[in-house]
Every structure is written in C-alpha cells, then in structure tokens.
Amino acid sequence: MSLQAWKRDLRVRQGVNLRKIDATLKAARSIIDDDQIDRVIEFREASYDLFQEGNIVASMWAGQAMWEAANFLDSAIVDRRAVRAGRKLVSKADKANSKKTANADKKHDEWQRLANEIWKKESNQNKSAAAIAAMIQKKVGGKANTIRRSIKKPVTTPRAD
C-alpha cells in the first residue's frame, strides 16, 4: 500500500490533516519539548507501518492518536505564545506605571514639603491634615482630599519648660 493511499485514508476516514500536523511539528521545534514532538512522529510512523501491513483498524487508531497528540501540541504552542505576549504587555504596563509613580512621588514630596512649612508656624501646629491640605490646594491646586491622604503631620517633640 502506498504512502498516498495512507494519507488519503487518514484524511477521508478520520479527517486527519497531515499538512496541519507537519506545520504544527515545524512550529513546535523551537517551543515544545522534543519528547512531545517525538510522540507525534512515533504515532505517525506506527500508523503508516500498520497500514502497510494491512491492519487498517490499528492504523486508524494510531492515526487518531497522532492527530490528538498533534492537537495537544498545537494548543501548547498557542498557550506558550500567549504567555510570551502577556509578558510583553506586563513589562510595557510596568514601564508606564513606573513613570506615573515617579511623577506622583514628586508631587507628593512637594505637598509634604509645603505641609511641613505650614505646620512649622506656631498658629498652624494644631491644625488637621485636612485643613493643611486645603491651604496647599489654594497654593498649588489639586484636590484637597488627595493632598490630605498623602501628607503626614510631622512628629514634634514636646518642649521642656
């Protein structure tokens, strides 16, 4: 029995697409373990050998196993590519977030510096963070509540009289 007859038998009786399997094996070479690729190749060889011996039913079973193993490889390839793409997206997001964080840190440091100056004055020492935030808002803009959440009242040591 010829190779063409075996290919036709797989395609017609089982719907096995050998071209797709070949493309999957080629794509898998750089991504998937060789053991998994070898399993597909072993099933393929077994199916063809059984077909040549005239054992059509066993050939069909080996062909089906080859098809399922190749589909497993194909899904593993897709998964690995998705993971790689996800890593790229995460690294881009990290870069964007680090820029935003750096800008926010500068702003928060400025607000804290202004708050410290205001709290140093004798008349403002007992004022709350909300009151100080409102004063900072008048000077530099922004939302008083956001400013309030980022500033901390400095710890003062009691005077020894």
* Whether 70 contacts 40, CB under 8 Å: yes
pLDDT band at 160; cut points 50, 70, 90: low
81 and 115 within one domain: no
* Whether 132 contacts 124, CB under 8 Å: yes
Structural domain ending residue among the three candidates 87, 115, 134: 87
90-103 per-position pLDDT tens digit: 677 777 788 888 88
- Those residues whose C-beta lies under 8 Å from the C-beta of residue 36, and which sit 6 or more positions away, are 28, 69, 72, 73, 76
Q: What is the pTM of this model?
A: 0.45
Residue 111 within any structural domain of the chain: yes
Into how many domains does the chain fold?
A: 2
9 and 48 within one domain: yes
130 and 66 within one domain: no
Residue 73 within any structural domain of the chain: yes
